[in-house]
A and B are shown apart, each in its own frame.
Chain A
Amino acid sequence: KQEVTQIPAALSVPEGENLVLNCSFTDSAIYNLQWFRQDPGKGLTSLLLIQSSQREQTSGRLNASLDKSSGRSTLYIAASQPGDSATYLCAVRGGTGRRALTFGSGTRLQVQP
């Protein structure tokens, strides 16, 4: 059974810092990996999707990498802003026909102005 772990559980940084969020998964046979953002009491916003054949994806100040063989992904946020404060969730879609996502427990990020 796929398990997804995110470290750290919470992170507080001053505005302007670059930061890295970590995600690990136990079964490397994945189809893709998605990073989401969730604001308090809200739904999920898809940030980046990395196919199993890809190594990284970039969108603006966000860069996500994937090392499938070691079961790891990182989300890099450059020049953090208070508006980046949210919970960041990593989710994997299995490669064995399971179409639903398995989620990590999230990293709660607070960017201090």
Chain B
Amino acid sequence: SAVISQKPSRDICQRGTSLTIQCQVDSQVTMMFWYRQQPGQSLTLIATANQGSEATYESGFVIDKFPISRPNLTFSTLTVSNMSPEDSSIYLCSVEKWARGEDSYNEQFFGPGTRLTVL
């Protein structure tokens, strides 16, 4: 498995400001993902972050609004820029780990999330 921490766990921000969310993993991983969960909704992928390359964004998400850094194999940040109340969501970091055994497979694990409220 993987132990993932996120900072901050929650924040209340003013419209027009920016917030950077940190994601730390206890082991090296190749693939990291950032998801958004709007109130009462399921998870939507924002972008995939690979170390040493530009993040790949999903349709509807742009780098200027959600810049991502991935400086090494255990850490990533997501910034929510120029925030509006519509950005109020839980932001979750996840990683993919390769499990080796009788059957080898990839499994995804999630951090505890960052609950963001924009006033």
Contact call B33/A100, Cβ cutoff below 8 A:
yes
Residue with the greatest number of chain B CB neighbours at <10 A, chosen from A34, A89, A91, A101 = A101
Q: For A44, list chain B residues within 8 Å (CB).
A: 43, 92, 94, 110
Interface-facing stretch out of B63-71, B74-82, B100-108:
B100-108
Main SS class of interface, A: strand
In the bound complex, CA of A41 to CA of B41 (Å)? 12
Chain A proximity mask over B28-65: 1 for CB below 8 Å, otherwise 0: 00010100000001111100100000000000000000
Contact call A51/B103, Cβ cutoff below 8 A:
yes
Closest chain A CB from B44 CB (angstroms): 8
Q: State whether the Cβ of B87 lies closer than 8 Å to any Cβ in chain A.
A: no
Chain A proximity mask over B1-29: 1 for CB below 8 Å, otherwise 0: 10000000000000000000000000000
Q: For B109, list chain A residues within 8 Å (CB).
A: 46
Total of A-B residue pairs, C-beta within 8 Å: 60
Contact call B108/A101, Cβ cutoff below 8 A:
yes
In the bound complex, CA of A102 to CA of B42 (Å)? 10
Main SS class of interface, B: strand
Q: Give the bracket for the number of chain B residues in contact with chain A.
A: 20 to 34
Q: For B1, list chain A residues within 8 Å (CB).
A: 46
Answer whether A105 and B33 are a contact pair too, CB < 8 Å, given A43-B110, A43-B111, A100-B48.
no
In the bound complex, CA of A102 to CA of B45 (Å)? 8
Q: State whether the Cβ of A76 lies closer than 8 Å to any Cβ in chain B.
A: no
Contact call A89/B43, Cβ cutoff below 8 A:
yes
Contact call B105/A43, Cβ cutoff below 8 A:
no
Q: For A91, list chain B residues within 8 Å (CB).
A: 43, 108
Closest chain B CB from A7 CB (angstroms): 14
In the bound complex, CA of A44 to CA of B96 (Å)? 14
Ranked nearest first, the 5 interchain pairs of A and B with the lowest CB-CB distance are: A44-B110, A43-B112, A43-B113, A103-B43, A105-B42
Which A residues contact B (CB, under 8 angstroms)?
A: 31-32, 34, 36, 41-46, 49, 51, 53-54, 89, 91, 93, 99-106
| Interchain Cβ contacts under 8 Å between A and B, 19 examples | A31-B106, A32-B106, A34-B108, A42-B112, A42-B113, A43-B92, A43-B110, A43-B111, A44-B43, A44-B94, A46-B109, A49-B105, A89-B43, A91-B43, A99-B31, A99-B33, A100-B33, A101-B45, A105-B41
